[in-house]
C-alpha cells in the first residue's frame, strides 16, 4: 500500500536515527528518553524541518508498536478552540495508563500548528498541562513562538528546528532517488536543494512531481518549472538590462518574459536581490537599490499593481546608477 503514498509520507522517518538534520536536538531528546525524564516539549521552526516526524519517531521509540493507543494527535489549525481543550484533550489527559509493560508510565498529547490556537484555548491548556503532568506529556509544534502564550512556552522545554542543511538534505534525497529509480542530473539535484531552502517536504514533493512528468533525465529547467521559480539565466538577462538599458528597452523585455514564462514579479525580485548583493557596485548604490527593491516588494504584498511596480523596479535601479 505504500506504493500509492506521497513520498512525504512514504519516506517519513520511523526512528530518531533516520531523522535528517538537527542532530543536536535529536541527541538531547535521546538522552531524555534514555533517562526516562521526557519533559513537555515545544518544537518550533520553519515548515518541513522535521518537527512532526521527530515527535512521531519519539512516540514509536517509547511506546513501540502500540504507540497509536498512547498518543493523542491533534492539528490545532483545525481543532483550535476551547471546546477541544475542555473535551478531547482534558478527557485523554485525565485517564491514566493501565497497562504500561516496559513503557514509560505516561501518555503523549501532540498539538500540531499550535500557534493557530485561540488565546482562550491556550489559557485553558496551561492549567491542564500542570494538573496532569504526572502521567501525561505534551508536545507543542509551532512555526512561530510569538503567537503562543508566554506562560504556555515557559512550561515546555524549547527546541528550535532549523532549515535542514544541504549535506543532510542531499544524503536523504539520494536514498529516495535510489529507492524510486529517479533519473536526475547532479546539477538539477543541487538546484532543487538550493530552491527548497532546507524544507524537506518541499524537496520530496517537487522531486516526485518532476519524476512523474519527466520523459528522460530531470534537468534544472524541469525543477525551476515545477517550483514556478524563474530560471537564473533569465534573471541574469533582466539584471543586465536593468543596469545597462533605458526604461523603453527594459520594460518590454521584462513584460514579455513575465507573460511568456508565467513569472511573478515577487519571485523575480527575490532572485534579482540575490544577484545585486554579489554584483560589483559602489556600496551606496547597492544599498539604494536593495532598499528600493524592498519597497517594491512591500507594495506588491499590499496589493499594488504588478505593471506599475515593474516600472517602479526599473526606476529604482536606474535612479541609483545614474
Any idea what the CATH number is for the domain that residue 308 is in? Answer: 1.20.272.10
- The Cα–Cα gap between 97 and 135 comes to 8
Give the per-residue pLDDT at 309: 92
Q: Is the CB of residue 42 less than 8 Å from the CB of residue 145?
A: yes
Which of 28-42, 87-101, 136-150, 166-180 comes out lowest in average pLDDT? 87-101
Instruction: Answer with the one of 174, 203, 227 that is the final residue of a domain.
Output: 227
Give the per-residue pLDDT at 216: 77
Task: Please indicate, yes or no, whether the overall pTM of this predicted structure exceeds 0.75.
Answer: yes
Any idea what the CATH number is for the domain that residue 110 is in? Answer: 3.40.50.300
Any idea what the CATH number is for the domain that residue 199 is in? Answer: 1.10.8.60
Same domain, 16 and 78: yes
- How confident is the model over 192-239, as pLDDT tens digits? 998 888 889 899 999 988 888 866 788 888 888 888 788 888 889 999
Same domain, 69 and 133: yes
Instruction: Answer with the one of 187, 212, 227 that is the final residue of a domain.
Output: 227
Same domain, 269 and 140: no
Same domain, 297 and 314: yes
Same domain, 7 and 142: yes
The number of folded domains in the chain is 3
Instruction: Answer with the one of 208, 227, 246 that is the final residue of a domain.
Output: 227
Domain of 174 in residue numbering reads as: 166-227
Same domain, 31 and 150: yes
Same domain, 28 and 153: yes
Same domain, 288 and 301: yes
Same domain, 221 and 256: no
- The Cα–Cα gap between 209 and 268 comes to 23
Q: Is the CB of residue 44 less than 8 Å from the CB of residue 141?
A: yes
- How confident is the model over 99-158, as pLDDT tens digits? 444 445 688 888 888 888 888 888 888 888 888 888 888 898 988 888 888 888 888 889
Same domain, 213 and 194: yes
Same domain, 17 and 153: yes
Q: Is the CB of residue 288 less than 8 Å from the CB of residue 295?
A: no
Same domain, 15 and 156: yes
- The Cα–Cα gap between 192 and 261 comes to 19
Mean pLDDT, range 9-37, rounded to an integer = 85
Amino acid at each position: 500500500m505504500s506504493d500509492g503514498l506521497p513520498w512525504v509520507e512514504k519516506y517519513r522517518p520511523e526512528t530518531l536515527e533516520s531523522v535528517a538534520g538537527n542532530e543536536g536536538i535529536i541527541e538531547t531528546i535521546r538522552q531524555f528518553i534514555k533517562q526516562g525524564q521526557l519533559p513537555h516539549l515545544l518544537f518550533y521552526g520553519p515548515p518541513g524541518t522535521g518537527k512532526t516526524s521527530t515527535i512521531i519517531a519519539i512516540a514509536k521509540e517509547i511506546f513501540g508498536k502500540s504507540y497509536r493507543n498512547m498518543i493523542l494527535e491533534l492539528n490545532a489549525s483545525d481543532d483550535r478552540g476551547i471546546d477541544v481543550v475542555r473535551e478531547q484533550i482534558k478527557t485523554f489527559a485525565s485517564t491514566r495508563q493501565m497497562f504500561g509493560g516496559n513503557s514509560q508510565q505516561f501518555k503523549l498529547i501532540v498539538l500540531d500548528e499550535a500557534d493557530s490556537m485561540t488565546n482562550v484555548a491556550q489559557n485553558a491548556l496551561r492549567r491542564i498541562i500542570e494538573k496532569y503532568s504526572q502521567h501525561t506529556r505534551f508536545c507543542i509544534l509551532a512555526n512561530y513562538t510569538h503567537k503562543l502564550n508566554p506562560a504556555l512556552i515557559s512550561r515546555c522545554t524549547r527546541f528550535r528546528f532549523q532549515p535542514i542543511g544541504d549535506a543532510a538534505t542531499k544524503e536523504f534525497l539520494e536514498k529516495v532517488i535510489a529507492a524510486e529509480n529517479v533519473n536526475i542530473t547532479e546539477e538539477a539535484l543541487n538546484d532543487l536543494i538550493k530552491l527548497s531552502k532546507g524544507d524537506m517536504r518541499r524537496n520530496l514533493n517537487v522531486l516526485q512531481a518532476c519524476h512523474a512528468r519527466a520523459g528522460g533525465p530531470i534537468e534544472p529547467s524541469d525543477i525551476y518549472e515545477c517550483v514556478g521559480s524563474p530560471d537564473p539565466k533569465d534573471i541574469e538577462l533582466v539584471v543586465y538590462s536593468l543596469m545597462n538599458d533605458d526604461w523603453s528597452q527594459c520594460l518590454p523585455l521584462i513584460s514579455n518574459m513575465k507573460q511568456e514564462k508565467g513569472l511573478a514579479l515577487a519571485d523575480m525580485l527575490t532572485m534579482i536581490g540575490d544577484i545585486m548583493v554579489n554584483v560589483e557596485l559602489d556600496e551606496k548604490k547597492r544599498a539604494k537599490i536593495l532598499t528600493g527593491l524592498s519597497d517594491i516588494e512591500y507594495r506588491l504584498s499590499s496589493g499594488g499593481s504588478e505593471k506599475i511596480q515593474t516600472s517602479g523596479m526599473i526606476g529604482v535601479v536606474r535612479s541609483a546608477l545614474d
